């Protein structure tokens, strides 16, 4: 194709391209979009905060009744790990935001790094949950005996079943996070390959 045909194609397509675009309608619409996004983010943060807070409370309650220094140490490790998980999650979010004005390959590289962090976060959760179980199970068994509780008592629900359900929910969430992050890494690698094509 000649240079003139090429320039003709671009001009024609540019005219068609520029005919599109209804805009965001009005700044008020944009504010509405942003307010909705901020609400969604706030809700996600509140849920994460509530989950981390509840996990820390249960751990602290169990730590209060630790039978020996080993259990106390284990409880402390679990508590610190939960705190670290929460902080790591917040940092991942911040890192994702910071890359938005980079060049596209840098943006993709950073996103890949963020998704790798998601995978490590999921794996960390899989490490913390058994540790937490190892720490809580003796507390549950001894607590049930000492307080003569049945498995359906309100106390059992508060100290055993609800934390167990919370741990199960966290496990399911971590599996979904892991799967989604792996799928996104695969897609990002494919995209990065496209941006590397033609590189000299």
Task: Indicate whether 153 belongs to the interface with another protein (CB under 8 A).
Answer: no
Distance of closest approach, residue 24 Cβ to another protein, in angstroms: 5
Choices 20-28, 66-74, 82-90, 132-140; region in contact with another protein by CB under 8 A? 20-28
Shortest Cβ 189–another protein spacing (Å): 10
Report 163-192 residues binding another protein (CB under 8 A). 184, 187-188, 191
Could you tell me which of 170, 167, 92 has the C-alpha nearest to residue 132?
Answer: 167
Contact between 30 and 135 under an 8 Å Cβ cutoff? The reply is no
Residue 200, SS3 per DSSP = coil
Q: Which of 9, 80, 137, 162 is close enough to bind another protein by CB under 8 A?
A: 9
The structure tokens listed for 115 are: 């998704």
Tell me the C-alpha distance between 3 and 9, whole Å.
10
Judge contact between 122 and 171, C-beta under 8 A: no
Closest approach, Cβ 84 to another protein, in A, equals 25
Among positions 35-54, residues that touch another protein (CB under 8 A) are 36-38
- Cβ proximity to another protein: between 164 and 187 the closer is 187
Rounded Cα–Cα distance for residues 194 and 23 (Å): 30
Q: How far is CA 87 from the centre of its chain?
A: 11
Decide: is 99 part of the binding site for another protein (CB under 8 A).
yes
- Options 63, 82, 111, 128; binder of another protein; rule CB under 8 A: 111
Would you count residue 200 as binding another protein (CB under 8 A)?
yes
Collect all residues with Cβ–Cβ distance below 8 Å to 191 and sequence separation of at least 6: 108
Distance, CA of 128 to CA of 134 (rounded, Å): 10
Binding interface with another protein (CB under 8 A): 1, 6, 9-10, 13-14, 16-27, 29-31, 33-34, 36-38, 97, 99-108, 111, 184, 187-188, 191, 194-195, 197-200
């Amino acid at each position: 194709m000649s240079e003139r045909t090429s320039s003709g194609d671009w001009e024609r397509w540019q005219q068609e391209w520029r005919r599109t675009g209804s805009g965001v309608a009005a700044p008020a619409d944009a504010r509405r979009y942003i307010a909705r996004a901020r609400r969604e983010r706030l809700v996600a943060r509140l849920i994460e905060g509530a989950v981390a807070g509840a996990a820390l409370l249960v751990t602290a309650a169990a730590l209060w009744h630790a039978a020996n220094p080993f259990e106390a140490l284990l409880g402390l490790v679990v508590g610190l790990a939960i705190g670290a998980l929460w902080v790591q999650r917040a940092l991942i979010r911040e890192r994702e935001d910071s890359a938005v004005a980079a060049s596209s390959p840098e943006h993709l590289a950073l996103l890949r790094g963020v998704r790798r962090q998601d995978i490590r976060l999921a794996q960390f959760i899989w490490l913390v949950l058994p540790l937490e179980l190892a720490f809580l199970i003796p507390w549950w068994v001894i607590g049930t005996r000492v307080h003569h509780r049945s498995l359906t008592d309100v106390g059992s629900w508060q100290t055993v079943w609800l934390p167990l359900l919370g741990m199960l929910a966290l496990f399911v969430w971590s599996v979904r996070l892991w799967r989604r992050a792996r799928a996104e890494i695969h897609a990002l690698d494919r995209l990065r390959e496209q941006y590397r094509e033609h590189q000299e």
